[in-house]
Structure 1
């Protein structure tokens, strides 16, 4: 199968501009390769994330992982965590604090599901985003889709921090 196609843009560049803050991982340098433990066929574990400098007025965070390079017209959501409290500034291996929840990812499962680009495809980008919201009550629950989560929280976004990893499976 020939998977050659144009490289899609970073979808966050298509949204209204918001202030940025800092997002890092002890396991992943921005632009670096995800480890096997972060692959679907590996440990299927989210990288640990740490953030700082969220905008004043932050009441909660939305934490996501998105693959814009998936061979679909809509990309692929690997993780959408809603309601991370404002006093939380890190997640270890994707473990969520009390009160936070995930919606089903594009695998149809709750929680994080790891990188799984088609074998032989170019390296895929996995964009981890921590979005600061001005509310701790999004009105959402586990039945929401990733698209609905983003649509319903758009008017509450105060800032966003991004960290991108890559992953490729040889042919």
Structure 2
């Protein structure tokens, strides 16, 4: 409960700097807390507001914020795992044609709250990664027929041979 009182006391300080996604979420929490304070200050003494409902809403907003933070952490962890790996980036040129850029990820980070990767000295959004590795050259590759496995074999025993009928 002391954290709740501390949050109300610091309502003017929440989310006042930066422009990341977590700051945007803090601004929403700040607005909610200001609305809750205004409701308490202006409530009808004969028909008092339900604090239980407000606290439930505040817990729900805190859960959404926590899930957002976890999602951001997982995304940054994944982007960090790409360092040193070859990726294919898709970007559109001035003519609207898709250009594939293949390079090695040299670093990761965030820009305006969005995860980015650095490939060959340039930053690209994580959402522009088309593949980890190279995409096959679809113009020169020819489709091959899949090889059917022999029937009557036990997949658990690779040394098994088909008995003669």
Q: TM exceeds 0.5?
A: no
Larger CA Rg, structure 1 vs 2: 2
TM-score by length of 1: 0.18
Q: Would you tell me which structure has more helix in proportion to its own residues?
A: 2
Q: Would you tell me which structure has more strand in proportion to its own residues?
A: 1
The structure showing larger relative contact order (alpha-carbon pairs under 8 Å, at least 6 residues apart) is 1
